[in-house]
């Protein structure tokens, strides 16, 4: 089934995708002419496939559950924000706060992301085939952020128990973020995420891993300048 946002209202399109007829066998949808509209595919909760054929605006695929969403273009702020499950695949670049606060599922970005990618992530897996901007994985609580390119300033600032894998250069690390030794378990996680993203040719030995130094978990007067 195809929608055309030059003719169909975004409210009607989202309402249809949010309320799938359980008796219908139609589980595949295409949205043409998205033209940068905001909140496309927000709040989907069924096991359906949606292709957005063009560029999307803010909060595309926000709060997603179960759906497999592909965007054939770039996306604005907050793609897959607060996602719970499913997969969101951006074939272009993503603006700031990609995957913010997301609890689960997988976000794949073929290009670059801007600042605060994975901010406060709570269990999502994010794979960025390009580079990320400053303060990515800020206050990231759990989940995995894989970066195949470089990272800007303050990577992993105030990070909790999320893991960051990166094959490129890190401009600087944020407070309480440090390089970690990659265990065999970590390598399996990384390999699985790369395979899921179609990056089977990537050598996991070229990646470094970063995580929490755990110095800010409890207040310590010696670390007051870091809070």
pTM: 0.94
CB 98 within 8 A of CB 89: no
Query: Measured between alpha carbons, how far is 134 from 39 in angstroms, rounded to an integer?
Result: 24
Which DSSP symbol is given to 47? S
Q: Return the residue matching tokens 């195949």.
A: 148
Helix (H, G, I), strand (E, B) or coil at 206: helix
Domains of the chain in start order, with CATH, are 2-226 (2.160.20.60)
Write the DSSP string, 162-200: -EEEESS-BS-B-TTEEEEPPPHHHHHHHHHHHHHTT-T
Written as tens digits, the pLDDT of the chain (227 aa) is 999 999 999 999 999 999 998 887 889 999 999 999 999 999 999 999 999 999 999 999 999 999 999 999 999 999 999 999 999 999 999 999 999 999 999 999 999 999 999 999 999 999 999 999 999 999 999 999 999 999 999 999 999 999 999 999 999 999 999 999 999 999 999 999 999 999 999 999 999 999 999 987 766 666 666 55
Strand ranges (E), the chain: 2-4, 28-32, 49-53, 68-71, 87-90, 106-109, 122-128, 142-147, 163-166, 177-180, 208-212
For 206, list phi and psi in degrees, rounded to 5.
-90, 0
């Amino acid at each position: 089934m195809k929608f055309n946002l030059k003719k169909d209202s975004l409210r009607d399109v989202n309402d249809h995708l949010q309320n799938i007829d359980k008796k219908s066998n139609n589980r595949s949808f295409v949205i043409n002419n998205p033209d940068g509209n905001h909140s496309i595919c927000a709040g989907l909760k069924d096991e359906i496939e949606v292709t957005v054929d063009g560029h999307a605006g803010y909060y595309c695929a926000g709060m997603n559950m179960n759906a497999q969403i592909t965007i054939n273009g770039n996306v604005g702020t907050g793609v897959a924000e607060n996602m719970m499950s499913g997969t969101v695949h951006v074939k272009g670049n993503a603006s700031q706060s990609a995957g913010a606060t997301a609890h689960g599922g997988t976000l794949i970005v073929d290009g670059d992301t801007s600042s605060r990618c994975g901010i406060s992530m709570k269990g999502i897996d994010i794979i960025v085939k390009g580079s990320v901007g400053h303060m990515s994985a800020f206050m990231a609580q759990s989940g995995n952020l894989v970066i195949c390119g470089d990272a800007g300033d303050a990577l992993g600032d105030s990070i909790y128990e999320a893991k960051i894998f990166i094959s490129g250069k890190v401009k600087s690390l944020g407070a309480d973020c440090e390089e970690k030794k990659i265990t065999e378990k970590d390598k399996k996680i990384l390999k699985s995420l790369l395979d899921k993203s179609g990056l089977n040719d990537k050598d996991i030995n070229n990646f470094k891993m970063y995580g929490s130094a755990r110095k800010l978990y409890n207040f310590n007067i010696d670390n007051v300048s870091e809070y």
